[in-house]
Chain A
Amino acid sequence: MADRDLSSDADHALDRVLESTPRRGGRTRPSAPDRVFDAVNLTILALVLVALVYPLYFVLISSISEPSLVNTGKVTWYPRGLTIQGYTRVLRDPNILIGYRNTFIYTAVGTALNVTLTVLAGYALSRRDFKGRNVISAFVVFTMLFNGGLIPLYLVVRNLGLLNTLGAMVLPTAVNVVNLIIARTFFATTIPDELLEAARVDGCGTARFFFQIVLPISPAIIAVEVLFYGVFHWNAFFEALIFLNDPDKYPLQMVLRDILLRARLSEMMFTGDPREFAEIQMLAELIKFSAIVVASAPILLLYPFLQRYFMTGVMIGSLKG
């Protein structure tokens, strides 16, 4: 028992959540009530795990199974009648490819803009000697409590001539208040005042201090912000719905909405052979399953590598909660 970790520093909280040291009931065998508890607890959690994972697994196996078998309920635990038709049709659809390209551009440009503005402002607001930080913080936070509404925002974007442009997809969401607070809290808690004082004594100005000292020791906050904003842009749908009406500018999510929710399968997915239209009905669901995988794969594949930063961000964000 002596070698047990007794510290309860918040610093280690993240490690403990991720790689938790299990609390065991000493060296004695668990008591009867505890064994019952564990059995019930693990059973429920195992069912929860199945409920969480199975829908995603089902989409995956359905996307590579013969549609007639999926539609009649013969595909349950593993793919049957393997086919890649869904994927070839989805990837043959120019709308999907345009959507992919547009989403890629919006995500790259938008995230770069987001992270730049957020990290710069977050650092300034974290400085205790920054006169006006309270006023500016209040000015920013007020936008979380009250907003002018959808129509006035739409009119602003229209007046700026941004409708149907890249600008409409990245500028109205350039700074997120929660992400800004995360950046501010991060800098306020990780950059000691002594470091700034020491730099000043050495004649280091504010800009140099930030770019040469603060940024190099803060890759974690950059990663957190890139992750949060990047996921937001990849999944963004609302801005496109409101500000875009040119299909050539549509991001992936708008294309997906047509395929998944409006049953609008692009004719381009089919070669034009009239006999093929009989297949459309059959293939419609297969294409939906494949489209879901194609759209979600990039984020879900990257997710295991990014999980740590994601957790860090949530923890910082809730520090003041």
Chain B
Amino acid sequence: MAIDTEVPPAAQEIQTTAVPGHSMARYLRDSWVLYLFVLPAILYFVIFHYWPMYGAVIAFKNFSPIKGILGSPWAGFAHFERFFNSHFFELLIRNTILISVYVLVAAFPVPIAFALMVNQVDYPLMRKTLQTASYIPHFISMVVFIGMIFLFLSPTNGVVNRLIMFLGGGATDFMGKAVWFRHVYVGTEIWKETGFAAIIYLAVLSTINPELHEAAIVDGATKLQRIIHIDIPGIVPTAVVLLILRVGRLMDIGFQKAFLMQTQLNIDASEIIPTYVYKQGLLAAQFSFSAAVGLFNAVINLGLILLVNQIAKRVTGNSLW
């Protein structure tokens, strides 16, 4: 999501209509209500976002709930050192990056292809059916979704294994093998989110000037040629921006999916930083240590998105904010 926080030129227009000399008083008399409107939201961000940012200092302390944040003794970088030296460090970083890169490479192009293909369907009913059906998985809750995955992939009576056996293969315990975890993660991700992600591409395709296509048809271009020379160049700018955003979130995998897909058997591939933080922090009550792990991840995320934004600014001439 790109955010534009600059005031457009039109902004001054309204202010200049105020009576000269009394502009500030006049402005406040007119507009104090706007501050009232925005106040609850600001309070929310202060309490539930900025206060925890301050609270993250416990990563540098030996936090004890009784002494509070201020009263707890400093620990320096001890928790970070412990994390970097633990054998979990390499595993967590590897799992996080592998899942992220795999999703990026395998799942990112799918909505583009889907949108290009749907865009070529000449039958309105088929088009509409395809689109509606493709958004539905997005609305299924993560718990239900993962529940379905377990049911379908069950080694004893899951549909997928029955199909494999019907075709002459052997049953595989997909959820119980670490080697399968990433493939299942990415494959199901594609099923769930392709339709949702394709909406933006379909919207962009619908804004391409039809005259381009008409001219191409007159020149005898085939559908495939028109996709390659008109549609794809038309959606590349959008795809680049979305790709940049995605790269900026490379270390930011959602907690829920990996957590719910975890079993004792696939933990070597499914343990990622957020699930580790949850277990160490809330289940084992190691507040400072897990806060340090979480902070480490947050700092990497921030660094990545700033870096990616700088690169985007250099390469494309416009940045995300």
Q: Please report A residues at the B interface, Cβ cutoff 8 Å.
A: 1, 4-6, 8, 10, 12-14, 16-20, 22-26, 31, 33-34, 37-38, 41-42, 44-45, 48-49, 51-53, 55-56, 58-59, 70-73, 116-118, 120-121, 123-125, 127-134, 136-141, 143-156, 160, 171-172, 174-175, 177-178, 180-181, 193, 196-197, 200, 205-207, 210, 231, 234-235, 237-238, 242, 253, 256-257, 259-261, 285, 288-289, 291-292, 295-296, 299-300, 303-304, 307, 310-311, 314-315, 317-318, 320-321
Q: Please report B residues at the A interface, Cβ cutoff 8 Å.
A: 1-8, 10-11, 13-15, 17, 27, 30-35, 37-38, 40-42, 44-45, 47-56, 58, 65, 69, 114, 117-118, 120-124, 126-137, 139-144, 146-148, 150-152, 156-157, 159, 162, 191, 195-196, 199-200, 202-203, 206-211, 213-214, 217-218, 220, 222-224, 238, 241-242, 245, 255-256, 260, 274, 277-278, 281-282, 287, 290-291, 294-295, 297-299, 301-302, 305-306, 321
Q: Which 6 A-B pairs have the closest CB atoms?
A: A149-B294, A260-B147, A148-B52, A152-B55, A235-B141, A121-B41
Q: Which of B48, B141, B191, B305 contacts A172 (CB 8 A)?
A: B48
* Residues on B with beta carbons closer than 8 Å to the beta carbon of A299: 139
* Distance to closest chain B CB from A108 (angstroms): 17
* Interface residues of A, dominant DSSP: helix
Nearest residue in A to B204 (C-beta to C-beta)?
A: A13
Whole-angstrom CA separation of A238 from B142 in the bound complex: 10
Whole-angstrom CA separation of A174 from B43 in the bound complex: 10
B209 touches A156 (CB 8 A): no
Selected A-B contacts with CB under 8 Å, 16 pairs = A8-B209, A18-B128, A23-B122, A42-B121, A55-B152, A124-B38, A130-B31, A152-B54, A152-B55, A152-B291, A154-B282, A155-B52, A210-B37, A289-B151, A291-B147, A320-B2
Nearest residue in A to B225 (C-beta to C-beta)?
A: A33
* Residues on B with beta carbons closer than 8 Å to the beta carbon of A55: 148, 152, 191
Q: Which of B27, B139, B224, B256 contacts A237 (CB 8 A)?
A: B256
**Which of A10, A25, A120 counts the most B-chain CB atoms under 10 A from its CB?**
A25
* Residues on B with beta carbons closer than 8 Å to the beta carbon of A38: 120, 122, 223
B260 touches A235 (CB 8 A): no
* Residues on B with beta carbons closer than 8 Å to the beta carbon of A210: 33, 37
Whole-angstrom CA separation of A296 from B246 in the bound complex: 29
Q: Which of B274, B290, B305 contacts A145 (CB 8 A)?
A: B305
B53 touches A146 (CB 8 A): yes
Nearest residue in A to B132 (C-beta to C-beta)?
A: A307
Whole-angstrom CA separation of A73 from B165 in the bound complex: 11
Q: Which of B11, B38, B151, B217 contacts A288 (CB 8 A)?
A: B151
* Residues on B with beta carbons closer than 8 Å to the beta carbon of A259: 147
* Residues on A with beta carbons closer than 8 Å to the beta carbon of B55: 148, 151-153, 155-156
* Distance to closest chain A CB from B126 (angstroms): 7
* Residues on A with beta carbons closer than 8 Å to the beta carbon of B200: 314, 318, 321
* Distance to closest chain A CB from B213 (angstroms): 6
Q: Which of B50, B141, B245 contacts A253 (CB 8 A)?
A: B141
A193 touches B14 (CB 8 A): yes
A13 touches B148 (CB 8 A): no
Whole-angstrom CA separation of A27 from B64 in the bound complex: 78
* Residues on B with beta carbons closer than 8 Å to the beta carbon of A152: 51-56, 58, 291, 294
A237 touches B298 (CB 8 A): no
* Distance to closest chain B CB from A169 (angstroms): 13
A321 touches B134 (CB 8 A): no
A31 touches B222 (CB 8 A): yes
B203 touches A315 (CB 8 A): yes
A48 touches B114 (CB 8 A): yes
A128 touches B34 (CB 8 A): no
* Distance to closest chain B CB from A232 (angstroms): 10
Whole-angstrom CA separation of A133 from B146 in the bound complex: 41
Nearest residue in A to B210 (C-beta to C-beta)?
A: A6
* Residues on B with beta carbons closer than 8 Å to the beta carbon of A296: 139-141, 144
Q: Which of B10, B214, B274, B278 contacts A193 (CB 8 A)?
A: B10
